[in-house]
Amino acid sequence: MSNESLANLMTEERRFAPPAELAAAANVTADAYASAEEDRLGFWAEQARRLSWETEPTETLDWSNPPFAKWFADGTLNVAYNCVDRHVEAGNGDRVAIHFEGEPGDSRSLTYADLQREVSKAANALTELGVETGDRVAIYMPMIPETVIAMLACARIGAPHSVVFGGFSADALATRIQDADARVVITSDGGYRRGKPSGLKPAVDEALTRPGTENVRNVVVVRRTGQDTAWTEGRDLWWHDVVDRQPAEHTPQAFGAEHPLFILYTSGTTGKPKGILHTTGGYLTQASYTHHAVFDLKPESDVYWCTADVGWVTGHSYIVYGPLSNGATSVLYEGTPDTPHQGRWWEVVQKYGVTLLYTAPTAIRTCMKWGDDIPARFDLSSLRLLGSVGEPINPEAWIWYRQNIGGGNVPVVDTWWQTETGAIMISPLPGVTAAKPGSAQVPLPGISATVVDDEAKEVPDGGGGYLVLTEPWPSMLRTIWGDDQRFLDTYWSRFEGKYFAGDGAKKDADGDIWLLGRVDDVMLVSGHNISTTEVESALVAHPKVAEAAVVGASDPQTTQAICAFVILRGSAAEDEGLVEELRAHVGKQLGPIAKPKRILPVAELPKTRSGKIMRRLLRDVAENRELGDVTTLTDSSVMQLIQKKLPGAS
């Protein structure tokens, strides 16, 4: 961003107070802000006591060598014990930990006692295979219970895991195995995707032919689909052969709070993936606290479902570590939302009586496009709270979500955080905050975030600029695996002493924070910085638009010109009149400066595997350039379709 701070174009006046009943029984009340304000470190020390420590920490934060933080450094604990055994010891062994729903409709439920046995066996198996404390294990799996079991087994023996999204190619897997120098890979023959088995093991075989992967001694393979699977004798082992025969007891060993728990590579929306390193005590403290606070989890009665893939950070913190450390009952769903029909998710909500649902704006907008009548066919009355993560949620999508999924009376929490932050940082508290559609609003208790300008000066209310985090937090990344310099350069060099998140943001008149998309995506039009998010939200607010992606294309007159790609709703006709109507609509909502110069109706938008719009590819199209790296796209044919539609493009 340059010239001037981010223009503040959108106004959103709708407000939704917390439901009285929820507020009266909320896990966290307004006092939490006050107590954290008064004594931030004391507040986190108190939250750390949510966990069972083998040795209680006496020290909270060591910030003597910033930005390399140590939290609770003299404490010791075992993460798997915290997520599994202690619930069994507390008499909750019969509580369901995971309701697994396979895409073909098979299902199984694992109690905490089941999970304890399975994790213990898997930990014994890894030890038998020679995996030692500190060794890295790569996990390349579909969404099945063994994935969670494998992660917990690694945590149990202190072997950091590196989960690689099952949709990634052999190349992506190979670079991640090389970078982490993994010793064992856990995978499956395949998983079910869009109604058919899709192989995973072949990608592992291919990845392991690449130089730099020689240290992988064994590949442990879960049988999921039963498809034919090539086998390397001596290296490959069936999970059921090595795990099932192990003793069901395993004594967890306590590790130091700063022992590495996992490496997770960011999705690569912006460049070469970074191996984000998270450690034990601080990470689990914040994952556990935020899950308790933001989702208001009541472990005895709630059924919680996070639709993310375990391969993303959301899956790590809010499918595995947060919910299990809190003794929650969760749903784990293997497949896609439209297999075998577009109501599949709502069928799952109805079947298990899901009370808390956590999903992404991209999924919400897709459901909007499919139509209101689909969720209306299911009983969604069990839902009492809805969450959103991954991108800014457009106010219209927020309202649709609350109305059509939440029955118009549940809180919606828009949660801002990143792989790097490890856990939720900015979010309404469901029993406290009067919610504003489209805004993540307030830093959680114990978190310090603000918006600054180019000179690192905090912007006043009403101003826009860069989101920064001004104090260390327990679940912060500790470094980029093997690359401290890149850690410093990427996050800590832009503004002295502050963490640079890479996202644009503004503060409204109340001081609430609105996320405005990545800094790289902000447009410069005739001297004004304009957020892609705001123009997209204005477009989505038009009844004929289902989804929109906006980019700035270089322009001789205005530096950049706003170029919008829109997906129309079912029956809307694509003609000259419509384009004019949409331009006028944006002009009216945001002002004439934000009127797109070009609007192009398209059938699909390019998205990453985690569902985020890849604006840099649309910019390449709009500027008639060769496309950049498309390897993290879900479907690269989308780009060809879009290019064909562009007048003058080849």
Residue list for the binding site for ATP: 390-392, 414-419, 503, 518
Tell me the window of 203-211, 226-234, 366-374, 500-508 that interacts with ligand ATP (CB under 6 A).
Answer: 500-508
CB 581 within 8 A of CB 545: no
Is the Cβ of residue 175 or residue 246 nearer to ligand ATP in the bound state?
175
Q: Which tokens belong to 486?
A: 């890149």
Is the Cβ of residue 236 or residue 396 nearer to ligand ATP in the bound state?
396
- The residue among 173, 150, 174 whose CA lies nearest residue 160 is 150
Question: Should residue 179 be labelled a site residue for ligand ATP when binding is judged by CB under 6 A?
Answer: no
Tell me the window of 114-122, 388-396, 492-500, 558-566 that interacts with ligand ATP (CB under 6 A).
Answer: 388-396
Range list of β-strands (E), 67-193: 70-71, 76-77, 96-101, 107-111, 137-140, 161-163, 184-188, 190-193
Length of the chain: 650
Options 267, 317, 330, 359; binder of ligand ATP; rule CB under 6 A: 267
CB of 489 to ligand ATP, least distance (A): 14
**Which residue matches tokens 């213990």?**
120
Is the Cβ of residue 116 or residue 317 nearer to ligand ATP in the bound state?
317
Residue type, 301: S
Burial class (CB in 10 A: 0-12, 13-18, 19+), 649: exposed
Binding mask 442-481 for ligand ATP (x = CB under 6 A): ----------------------------------------
CB of 440 to ligand ATP, least distance (A): 5
Burial class (CB in 10 A: 0-12, 13-18, 19+), 439: buried
Please enumerate in sequence order all residues whose Cβ is within 8 A of that of 396, keeping only pairs 6 or more positions apart, or say none.
437, 537, 540, 541
CB of 276 to ligand ATP, least distance (A): 8
Question: Should residue 313 be labelled a site residue for ligand ATP when binding is judged by CB under 6 A?
Answer: yes
Is the Cβ of residue 394 or residue 404 nearer to ligand ATP in the bound state?
394
* ∠ CA 438-316-475, rounded to 5°: 75
Tell me the window of 70-78, 227-235, 335-343, 496-504 that interacts with ligand ATP (CB under 6 A).
Answer: 496-504
Options 418, 529, 537, 560; binder of ligand ATP; rule CB under 6 A: 418
Is the Cβ of residue 501 or residue 562 nearer to ligand ATP in the bound state?
501
CB of 202 to ligand ATP, least distance (A): 26
Largest Cα–Cα distance of the chain, in whole Å?
72
CB of 252 to ligand ATP, least distance (A): 29
Options 103, 179, 414, 620; binder of ligand ATP; rule CB under 6 A: 414
Is the Cβ of residue 416 or residue 473 nearer to ligand ATP in the bound state?
416
Q: Which tokens belong to 597?
A: 């110069």
| Residue 551, strand partner residues | 563
Q: Enumerate long-range contacts of 402-410, CB under 8 Å, 24 or more apart.
A: 402/16, 402/437, 404/367, 404/368, 404/372, 404/375, 404/376, 405/346, 405/357, 405/364, 405/367, 405/375, 405/380, 406/380, 407/380, 407/381, 407/383, 409/19, 410/19, 410/383, 410/384, 410/385, 410/386
- The residue among 130, 122, 131, 188 whose CA lies nearest residue 160 is 131
Count of beta carbons in the 10 Å neighbourhood of residue 648: 5
What letter would DSSP give residue 633?
B
Binding mask 501-530 for ligand ATP (x = CB under 6 A): xxx-----------x--x------------
Binding residues: 193-196, 314, 390-392, 414-419, 503, 518, 526, 540, 542, 545
Q: How many residues sit close enough to ligand ATP to count as binding (CB under 6 A)?
A: 24
Question: Should residue 392 be labelled a site residue for ligand ATP when binding is judged by CB under 6 A?
Answer: yes
Is the Cβ of residue 499 or residue 565 nearer to ligand ATP in the bound state?
499
Is the Cβ of residue 222 or residue 424 nearer to ligand ATP in the bound state?
424
**3-state secondary structure (DSSP) of residue 354:** coil
Options 160, 191, 311, 390; binder of ligand ATP; rule CB under 6 A: 390
CB of 503 to ligand ATP, least distance (A): 5
Is the Cβ of residue 285 or residue 419 nearer to ligand ATP in the bound state?
419
- Give, in order, the Cα–Cα distances in Å from 87 to each of 80, 92, 107: 11, 5, 23
CB of 486 to ligand ATP, least distance (A): 12
Is the Cβ of residue 518 or residue 585 nearer to ligand ATP in the bound state?
518
Binding residues for Mg(2+): 540, 542, 545
- Give, in order, the Cα–Cα distances in Å from 39 to each of 88, 199, 468: 34, 52, 21
Residues between 551 and 610 that touch ligand ATP (CB under 6 A): 610
- The residue among 256, 346, 363 whose CA lies nearest residue 308 is 363
Interacting residues toward ligand ATP by CB under 6 A: 266-270, 312-313, 389-392, 414-416, 418-419, 440, 501-503, 515, 518, 610, 612
